[in-house]
Amino acid sequence: MNTLNGNTPGQDFIRAIVAEDLRNGRYKEIVTRFPPEPNGFLHIGHAKAILLSYGIAKETGGRFNLRFDDTNPETEDVSYVESIIDTVRWLGADFGDKVYYAADYFADMYRFAEYLIAQGLAYVDSSAEEEIREARGTVTEPGFPTRFRDRTPEENLDLFRRMRAGEFPDGSHVLRAKIDLASKNMLLRDPLLYRVRHAHHYRTGDAWCIYPLYDYAHPIEDAIEGITHSLCTLEFDNNRAVYDWTVEHWQDFVRSEGGTPARPHQYEFARGNLDYTIMSKRKLLQLVQGGLVSGWDDPRMPTIAGYRRRGVSPEAIRAFWERIGVARFNSRVDIGKLEFAIRDDLNHRAPRVLCVLHPLRVVLTNYPQGQTEELEAPYWPHDVPNDGSRPLPFARELFIDRDDFMEDPPKGFFRLSPGGEVRLRYAYVIRCDEVVKDENGEIVELRCSYDPETRGGNTPDGRQVKGTIQWVSAGHSLPCEVRLYDRLFSVPDPEAGEGDFKEHLNPESLVVVQGARIEPGVRDDAPGSRYQFERMGYFCSDIVDSSADQLVFNRTVTLRDTWGKAAQPAKTPAAKKAPASKPAEREPRERTPGRQVARPPEMAAARARYDSELGLAPVEADLLTRDPGFATLFEGTVALGAAPKAVANWIVNVLLVELKERGINEIAFGPAQLADVVRMVEDGTISSAAGKTVVAELTRDGGDPRAIVERRGLRQVSDEAALMPVVEQVVAANAGKVAEYRGGKTALMGFFVGQVMRSTGGTANAERVRELLEARLG
């Protein structure tokens, strides 16, 4: 991405859009933003978004804003705000002296909502959540109005102001935009703008009891701040239609007050998913709360705080995302590329020191008793253009690593063995003369002799000594704890399949070594100091637990990729090479919600197959193949016997709406659970509305669909004896509408069905209800 290191900017497709806008004089200044919700710690994927938005602003001489989308008071906290500010600064993204908050715009958002109501563009809906969900329709069927859609602007304004005044409980009313219930983009079917929440906000206190939803608040925030390019990840692609609708009416609102409105535009790019990692905040929270990691800053966690504690520098994270670049479609990134970037950075940043993990005492029998000499040892190898050295104390008694000695070595073992020689790094060549064991036969000491003519490791007589090992002085070295961190998961995609992702935790992701020894020069270094422990890897002193009296070191990364061979797939017959695809052309500025996006070849092939072989609508095939996770869920569910059209409908119509800003890998269920929901709806066990409720809970918390149905009382009621009393109550309570219906206004049937559904808590069989109502109303 070439965002922060002063390189010539690369022309990824986002930068191409920005460059064209500047050439055409569309904007005088480019303004971007990073808008986190302060409800947790930022992870490595957030770093990509930060660096892209900041990099574009920096390269064009523009402005970059840090803004908190703090519209959800129940989950947000000032501690997260402080952590995010610190993290963004640590990454090197300069947002100036001002931090922006959505909460500071609540009054403006409220005035705009009143404007929309007055213009007939928004209404207060008092329907139950299940009714609203049902009334949105499906991908193949349009939505229908609830009975509150035709309230007058005066009535809506009165209710909205009473919502603001705190007269109503949570969940009693919502404010919805009045857009298009027949739109192919279901997000345009009268989206929610405000909900009632009597919750304390960390910034505004108890001043508000209604809060705007993300799709409404986000474009307003961008417009107020003059954002030109609002960069989002691909899951917000369909939300762009709501974004544009909101911005266009915001412009009218600003003009009505005599102002000059800004016109931000939203653009989407692929999120950054890493192998051997999960990015779901919900699942990361499970690891923290379950005690499977020590906290959000555990060095194994993918949070930026975790990488920071592990010893990764901001420069390494920036270099990694620059190498990866900006793509149009989602994919998983090989974590080896991140580890390479870390090694490459630390090679020039981390001085070399000597540490012995498993000390084995060595006594040099021919070295003078009581004598100590200091050997000059460089901090850097010859190929690193840095200067500096330190004195290493050398004495009669030393420690080497137990792994560097074998009593009966195999062929090719070049370290120390009885009668063999080895070179001590920066010191002398030594020979093992005697092995000392305890009463259990365990080796406790090696008695060796040193060659005083080989100081510095040279052999004046020309003899070959193939092995070189690290060592420390027994009397001068410092005890320390070494934490050997590795990848948190043992498989590349821990969320694939139906099992619990925690089953793939790597049991070797942390090995703690007590009693290691390190050279004494590191004692007074600041916590967080980075080193290369020669022959072992890159390490840093722990910024939380390490002190001069109790040194603790974390392994940042090994010297080379130890996972490479293990990760190699078994050889399979060569597949037929697919024809090269043409480079994706830049699309027009005004894009339609249903536009196709670039996708990898396997997803393009799947899209064509879904269309031609499975009979899915083009929009369904398109949405299911934008992210491999959706395709995997779809195909897995179909493989269990569910009809492809039905599965596509549930994923596109229900799951996509429930996901909101989350990614597909963050759901808590798999194909088996979705197939069960589809079966229950098709056999009449539950209604489609109840099915949506089940999917909503599965998305959030997982579980057994049938257990959810029983626990929540969602089993569908079809029995006439049970339904008819409710039908009679609805008919009796709405005599005026009954007259209108019998007078020819048959569209009111949807109203009557909705009333019965509401009275039965959504458990009535809607088809059976319609039959009974048609018979009753004549």
Those residues whose C-beta lies under 8 Å from the C-beta of residue 574, and which sit 6 or more positions away, are none
Residue 753, both tokens: 């069905």
281 noted as active-site residue: yes
Which one of the listed residues 136, 176, 271, 487 is annotated catalytic? Answer: 271
CA dist 398 and 72 (Å) reads 60
CB 430 within 8 A of CB 402: no
CA dist 310 and 308 (Å) reads 5
Radius of gyration over every alpha carbon of the chain, rounded to an integer in angstroms: 33
Which one of the listed residues 37, 134, 268, 339 is annotated catalytic? Answer: 37
Spatial CA neighbour of 759 closest among 720, 710, 725, 718 = 725
316 to 7, 284, 304, 319, 409: CA distances (angstroms): 15, 23, 12, 5, 40
Cα torsion through 116, 118, 119, 124, rounded to 10: 60
CA dist 117 and 27 (Å) reads 32
What is the DSSP secondary-structure string of 210-235? EEE-HHHHHHHHHHHHT-SEEEEEGG
Those residues whose C-beta lies under 8 Å from the C-beta of residue 551, and which sit 6 or more positions away, are 478, 479, 480, 481, 518, 522, 523, 541
Which one of the listed residues 281, 343, 517, 599 is annotated catalytic? Answer: 281
Spatial CA neighbour of 44 closest among 289, 459, 454, 324 = 324
Helices (H), 140-211: 153-165
Spatial CA neighbour of 769 closest among 729, 712, 719 = 719
Residue 725, both tokens: 């009393």
What are residue 670's phi and psi, to 5 degrees? Answer: -135, -165
What are residue 629's phi and psi, to 5 degrees? Answer: -65, -40
271 noted as active-site residue: yes
* SS3 per residue for 384-448: CCCCCEEEEEEECEEEEEHHHECCCCCCCCCCECECCEEEECCCCEEEEEEEEECCCCCEEEEEE
Residue 681's region, left for phi above 0, alpha for psi from -120 to 50, else beta, is alpha
Q: Using CB atoms within 10 A of its CB, is residue 651 exposed (0-12), middle (13-18) or buried (19+)?
A: buried
CB 611 within 8 A of CB 620: no
CA dist 574 and 484 (Å) reads 39
What are residue 480's phi and psi, to 5 degrees? Answer: -155, 160
CA dist 536 and 357 (Å) reads 9
CB 41 within 8 A of CB 303: yes
Residue 773, both tokens: 């109502």
Catalytically active residues are: 37, 271, 281
